[in-house]
């Protein structure tokens, strides 16, 4: 498949990333989850399709979201995400290769829209730190919601799934 020039540097994202995470927030009880991120490409298009799913440790679905990662020139990244809980997130930020060759994506500017029946989410922030060989990623999701100030809500450590031979 021929990837768009803006997407090619992010080819390492393609496929499935799986692992475990932990969530907490003042308005809910702490919880653990299993997370799967899937990135796919469309030939020649300047975006990656994103699907995120979480389950509890018994395999019961907890959350899902879908969207598009839109790399731009100069390490700028846009992320468009829709959630069945009634929110959409438009995030922008940067991808930076660190001195140790790990890669940090910080999506720190967000616009969140909520449906009239959704819990009110004011702002979000997402961090992704990929190890040097791009085989693992540590994620953090920060949120200001339900009258609470911006704070960490979720964190996970995911590993790139190796396709069956």
Percent of the chain beyond pLDDT 70? 99
* Res 164 pLDDT > 70: no
Name the average pLDDT for the chain: 96
* Res 165 pLDDT > 70: no
Per-residue pLDDT, averaged over 43-63, amounts to 97
Percent of the chain beyond pLDDT 90? 96
pLDDT for 162 equals 80
Q: Model confidence at 163, in pLDDT bands (50, 70, 90)?
A: confident
Per-residue pLDDT, averaged over 71-79, amounts to 97
Give pLDDT tens digits for 80-139.
999 999 999 999 999 999 999 999 999 999 999 999 999 999 999 999 999 999 999 999
Mapped to the 3 state alphabet, what secondary structure does the chain carry? CCCCCCCHHHHHHCEEEEEEEEEEECCEEEEEEEEEEEEEECCCCCCEEEEEEEECCCCCEEEEEEEEEEECHHHEEEEEEEECCCEEEEEEEEEEECCCCCEEEEEEEEEEEECCCCCCEEEEEEEEEECCCCCEEEEEEEEEECCCCCEEEEEEEEEECCCCC
- To which CATH superfamily is domain 8-48+63-124+143-160 assigned? Calycin beta-barrel core domain (2.40.128.20)
Per-residue pLDDT, averaged over 63-75, amounts to 97
């Amino acid at each position: 498949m021929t990837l768009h020039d803006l997407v090619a540097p992010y080819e390492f994202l393609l496929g499935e990333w799986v692992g475990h995470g932990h969530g907490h927030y003042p308005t809910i009880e702490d919880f653990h989850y299993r997370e799967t991120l899937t990135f796919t490409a469309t030939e020649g298009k300047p975006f990656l399709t994103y699907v995120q799913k979480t389950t509890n440790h018994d395999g019961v679905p907890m959350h899902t979201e879908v969207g598009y990662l839109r790399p731009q020139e100069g390490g700028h990244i846009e992320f468009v995400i829709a959630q069945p809980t009634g929110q959409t997130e438009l995030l922008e930020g940067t991808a930076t290769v660190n001195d140790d060759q790990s890669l940090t994506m910080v999506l720190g500017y967000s616009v969140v829209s909520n449906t009239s029946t959704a819990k009110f989410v004011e702002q979000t922030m997402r961090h992704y730190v990929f190890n040097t060989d791009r085989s693992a990623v540590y994620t953090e999701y920060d949120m200001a919601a339900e009258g609470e100030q911006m704070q960490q809500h979720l964190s996970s450590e995911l590993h790139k799934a190796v396709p069956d031979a």
